Amino acid sequence: MEPSYLKLHREGELEKRIETALGLLESCRLCPRECGVNRLEDERGFCGIGRRARVASYSAHFGEEAPLVGKYGSGTIFLSSCNLLCNFCQNYDISHENEGQDVEPAHTAAMMIHLAEGGCHNINFVTPTHVVPQILEALPSAIGLGLRVPLVYNSSGYDKRETLEILEGVFDIYMPDFKFWDGRWAERYCGALDYREVGIEALKEMHRQVGDLTLNDQGVAEKGLLIRHLVMPHNIAGTEEIMDFIANEISPDTYVNVMDQYRPCGGGDEDEFINRRLTSREFSSAMDAAKRTGLRRLDSRDRMRLFF
Number of domains composing the chain: 1
Task: Answer yes or no: is 53 within a domain.
Answer: yes
Give the domain range for residue 154: 5-298
Task: Answer yes or no: is 306 within a domain.
Answer: no
Give me the half-sphere count of Cα atoms (radius 13 Å) on the Cβ side of residue 132: 32
Task: Answer yes or no: is 152 within a domain.
Answer: yes
Handedness of CA 122, 111, 230, 33 (dihedral sign): negative
pLDDT, position 108? 98
Whether residue 308 is predicted with pLDDT greater than 60 in this model: the reply is no
Task: Answer yes or no: is 109 within a domain.
Answer: yes
Task: Answer yes or no: is 303 within a domain.
Answer: no
Spatial separation of the C-alpha atoms in residues 202 and 167, rounded to whole Å: 12
Q: What percent of the chain has pLDDT over 70?
A: 97
Nearest CA-CA partner of 259 in 214, 290, 293? 290
Handedness of CA 142, 144, 150, 156 (dihedral sign): positive
Task: Answer yes or no: is 92 within a domain.
Answer: yes
CATH number of the structural domain spanning residue 112:
3.20.20.70
pLDDT, tens only, 106-165: 999 999 999 999 999 999 999 999 999 999 999 999 999 999 999 999 999 999 999 999
Task: Answer yes or no: is 81 within a domain.
Answer: yes
Task: Answer yes or no: is 121 within a domain.
Answer: yes
pLDDT, position 301? 62
pLDDT, tens only, 183-211: 999 999 999 999 999 999 999 999 999 99
Question: Which residues face 79 on adjacent strands?
Answer: 55
Whether residue 305 is predicted with pLDDT greater than 50 in this model: the reply is no
